[in-house]
Amino acid sequence: MGFERRFPLIGGPLTDNVLIIHPRDNVAVALRDLTPGEEAKGTGLSGLPVLHAIPAGHKIALRDLASGEEIVKYGEVVAVAARAIHKGEWVHTHNLESKRWRK
Amino acid sequence: MTEITGYLRPDGKVGVRNHVLVLATVSCVNGVIQRISREVPEAVCVPHAFGCGRGGPRDLQILFRILSGMVRHPNVGAAVLIGLGCEVSNTRNLAPLIRDCGKSVEILNVQEWGSLQTSRKGAETARRFLAETQAQPRVPISWDRLMVAMECGGSDAMSGVTANTALGAVSDWLVEKGGTVIFGENTEMIGTDHILARRAKNAQVAGSIVQMVRRADQLAHDVMGNLAGLVISPGNMDGGMSTIAEKSMGCIFKGGSTTINQVVDYGEPPTEKGLVLQDGPGYDGDSMAGLAVSGAQVMFFSTGRGTPAGFPALPVIKVASNSRIYRAMADDMDLNAGTLVEGKSREVLRDEMIALLARVVNGEKTKAEANGMEVFTFMTVHPPF
């Protein structure tokens, strides 16, 4: 049996499927692959509809973000929205840009 | 809170172990160190690849700082230095740097005795020092005497989510108790210099932070060219990291959220308490050496892909970022921060980590210590001649 089968990444019952790292954050981290239509659940968050397929470890928007709005994770600005992003949307390189190397 | 104990050193420092160190001054005598190690397995025997063949001022500064710093380390109660004689970091040059530490130190040179006699004399001395150190008592110490290093290596997409947030919670707790937290890995601060600088205690510390991170960024570009972009790699992006700032936040979060009081050079002991940054590299072995020689008595080390590496004389507590590696490497992992996504609260995990820290300070062996997984290497800047 393969390594990944013998040792599942998540070892216990998973009630939450996202994690909000810092109270100031406007994105949460997916703890497993999320599928459109299901609900994102985590401490301080109940019933946020997931709009896209979001891979584990990736970000989901916790509220609507305007184009140019700062994306906050770890309580700090890690990027800015390159276009309007809806609550429940996957947040990644396709819809944000780095403040550091802003085009 | 649990009472903690340690060993008072003549120079005023506090150790949490009372090791006898047997240290090579140069790679040429590694065989002698290995012979002593077989005869006296209780001693911390440290062979290495350095000691000669490099002449630049920065390499010499680091060489002498690390070798003398190992002898001066608070977890070392006594030391046997095994030299060759004609090396750059010979015992005559090292002696003045360790003389005032007040510990029992014996110096033996292979060019005076030959390898077999040096091995025999070294083993005899190590045994005598072990008897001496074992007779020394532990005394109660306060948390503000502790310096804890925070390190991450073999990271995965969960390292910055689970393990490093857990390390950050412990960092904030220890700083609140009056202790010191130190972390380095300057390449993993790239993109967050403005965030770190904002947390600096004054403009001078803020300036040092910006300078350190810019230099690390520049060096990566000078040495790696276009590949410097790999500090945020396609693999990082597949894992969910969108920007270098996001990736670096996951790294620096292990130091918690308190004011940054000082930036120290690689292996330099801080003069401030609270949170301190070290201008050192990201490579695990090199980073561990710098943090240890700066005076950290214990290290937390988060890992997601899994590494067994410990460091001589330094208890290294391994924190797994996910349940998979915690179980696959059960013999090497001390804690599972993967439980954070399986219903355990951050407060409960933090309190378990503090409880383990107290037990480790009081003498409980970490997995890396029990398994003898020590790695000893340190940073160099130029190739050997």
Res A102: pLDDT = 45
ipTM: 0.89
| φ, ψ for residue A75, nearest 5 deg | 75, 10
Rounded (10°) angle between helices B164-176 and B346-361: 60
Assigned domain for A56 exists: yes
Please name which of B82, B90, B92 lies closest in space to residue B34, comparing C-alpha atoms: B82
Assigned domain for A24 exists: yes
The C-alpha atoms of residue B194 and residue B191 are separated, in whole angstroms, by 8
pLDDT per residue over B312-370, tens digit each?
Answer: 999 999 999 999 999 999 999 999 999 988 888 889 999 999 999 999 999 999 999 99
Res A103: pLDDT = 38
- Most distant pair of Cα atoms in chain B: their distance: 63
Assigned domain for A59 exists: yes
Amino acid residing at A14:
L
Of B88-92, B153-157, B232-236, where does the model show the most confidence? Answer: B88-92
Taking phi over 0 as left and psi of -120 to 50 as alpha, with beta for the rest, B7 belongs to: beta
Please name which of B342, B238, B232, B341 lies closest in space to residue A58, comparing C-alpha atoms: B238
pLDDT per residue over B279-325, tens digit each?
Answer: 999 999 999 999 999 999 999 999 999 999 999 999 999 999 999 99
Assigned domain for A2 exists: no
Q: B345 Cβ partners below 8 Å, 6+ apart?
A: none
Averaged pLDDT of chain B: 95
Assigned domain for A8 exists: no
Assigned domain for A27 exists: yes
Contact between A10 and B342 using a beta-carbon 8 Å cutoff: yes
Res B201: pLDDT = 98
- Most distant pair of Cα atoms in chain A: their distance: 48
Assigned domain for A87 exists: yes
pLDDT per residue over A4-57, tens digit each?
Answer: 777 777 666 667 899 999 999 999 999 889 999 999 998 888 789 999 999 989
| φ, ψ for residue B224, nearest 5 deg | -105, -10
Number of domains in chain A: 1
Among B341, B344, B345, B346, the residue to mutate for chain A (most A Cβ within 10 A): B341
Q: Which domains does chain B have, with CATH numbers?
A: 19-135 (3.40.50.2300), 143-371 (3.40.50)
The mean per-residue pLDDT over the stretch A78-94 comes to 96
Higher pLDDT among residues B160 and A14, named by residue? B160
Q: Kindly list the residues from chain A whose CB atom is less than 8 angstroms away from the CB atom of residue B323.
A: 7-12
Residue B98 in contact with residue B28, Cβ under 8 Å? no
Closest CB to A98 among B243, B250, B326 = B243
Q: A102 burial class (0-12, 13-18, 19+ CB within 10 angstroms)?
A: exposed
- A78: domain range? 14-97
Instruction: State the pLDDT confidence band at B6, using cuts at 50, 70 and 90.
Output: very high
Residue of B nearest to A96 (CA): B242
Contact between B237 and A93 using a beta-carbon 8 Å cutoff: yes
Closest CB to A99 among B238, B245, B327 = B245
Res B69: pLDDT = 98
pTM over 0.90: yes
Pair of tokens at residue A87: 């609550």
Helices (H) and strands (E) in chain B, counts: 14, 14
Report how far apart, in Å, the C-alpha atoms of B260 and of each of B19, B209, B275, B302, B364 are.
31, 9, 5, 21, 30
The residues on B that touch A, with CB distances below 8 Å, are: 157-158, 160-161, 165, 191-192, 195, 237-240, 242-246, 249-250, 253, 257, 322-328, 336, 338-343
Q: What is the CATH number of the domain that holds A45?
A: 2.30.130.110
The C-alpha atoms of residue B264 and residue B384 are separated, in whole angstroms, by 26
Contact between A11 and B192 using a beta-carbon 8 Å cutoff: no
Taking phi over 0 as left and psi of -120 to 50 as alpha, with beta for the rest, A37 belongs to: left
The C-alpha atoms of residue B138 and residue B7 are separated, in whole angstroms, by 5
Distance from first CA to last CA of chain B, Å, rounded?
53
Assigned domain for A7 exists: no
The C-alpha atoms of residue B149 and residue B296 are separated, in whole angstroms, by 6
Q: Kindly list the residues from chain A whose CB atom is less than 8 angstroms away from the CB atom of residue B322.
A: 9-11
| Count of CB pairs separated by less than 8 Å, A with B | 104
